[in-house]
Amino acid sequence: MGLRLGKDLRFHGFDMARAAPLIPLLLLLASLAPFGLGVLLAEASGFPAAQSVLVLEGLTVAALFLAGYAAREAHAPQVGRWPSWSGVDRETWERLAYGGLIVAGGLAVVLQWGWRTGDFTLPLVGLGILAGYFIFAPPVAWTRRGLGEFWGGLCFGLLPLVSGYYLQTQYVISEILLYGLPLSLAGFNVCLVLGFPMPGQEAEPKPPTLAARLGPVGAALLYTIVNILVVLGMLVALYFPAARHYAQSWLWALIVLALVNQELLKRRAYYRESRLQLLVFLTLGLHLGMCLIFGLGLWGRL
């Protein structure tokens, strides 16, 4: 079993053939980190996390991610700027996807009726299936409709954050939006840049991503608009925090990173594969950095 790698995967002495397999792991972290933020926010609100429930909840999020990743490998392996696994047939990936769905559904039942995590536990998991697994899987296949990036952003921001908070407290608060909205916007840009076609590629990926539909210039403009909203979200967290903490000042470093990403697009990174690959990792780094700094701020409130 190996990885099918495209061309132009080396830049500035950095071997993308080694780095590209990290993308799925980083995406898994990008889905688990907002969930952890929700749990920290619940603890900061006076609801200590039950360790057994927390483990089951984390496994549920991981199972949903596995289902979504396996659905991509089974139904749209050419979509996304990371290599597909060779040596694994479509039927195996479909079985893995169904296994992830079964595990997530079973854990949701145990959490809702065994651990009394609230009436919306199953609906939240159902929304996770709709937003994650059906990004690629028929009959919905959000990517085919140009909506995959929207649902992907939801899976990397608001949805796991709300789930992490609700399953500990059985209700939600408005402070969730302070963290969830900028993370969802940053997650949207992660999905958008992952969908940029290779420069000079004649045929669009099937199904076409949103970036492929818009073209490189249109997709860069959309990335810019969302990037501005992400920066505004971080500025709101800086100047209108729910509680002040030393970690907030580190958001300035992430604002600089967002400007670096913007400069790459200004220099038409979408016309060079090496720069696009760099932009993928920097965009992922921005999202994960926001999770880290938001988490440190919440940790300081415990």
Domain count, the chain: 1
| pLDDT of 204 | 67
Is 80 exceeded by the pLDDT of residue 206? Answer: no
Is 80 exceeded by the pLDDT of residue 220? Answer: yes
Is 80 exceeded by the pLDDT of residue 50? Answer: yes
Better-scored residue on pLDDT, 287 or 199:
287
N residues, the chain? 302
Composition of the chain by helix, strand, coil, percent to 5: 70, 5, 25
Is 70 exceeded by the pLDDT of residue 7? Answer: no
Domain span including residue 195: 2-299
In this prediction, residue 57 has a pLDDT band, given cuts at 50, 70 and 90, of very high
- Could you count the other beta carbons within 10 Å of the beta carbon of residue 168? 24
Cis previous bond, 139, omega within 30: yes
| 170/164 Cα distance (integer angstroms) | 10
Query: Average pLDDT, stretch 268-291?
Result: 93
| pLDDT of 205 | 67
pTM of the model: 0.92
Is 70 exceeded by the pLDDT of residue 13? Answer: no
| pLDDT of 1 | 39
In this prediction, residue 241 has a pLDDT band, given cuts at 50, 70 and 90, of confident
Two tokens, residue 299:
């940790």
Extended strands (E) in the chain: 2-4, 10-11, 14-15, 84-86
Is 70 exceeded by the pLDDT of residue 18? Answer: no
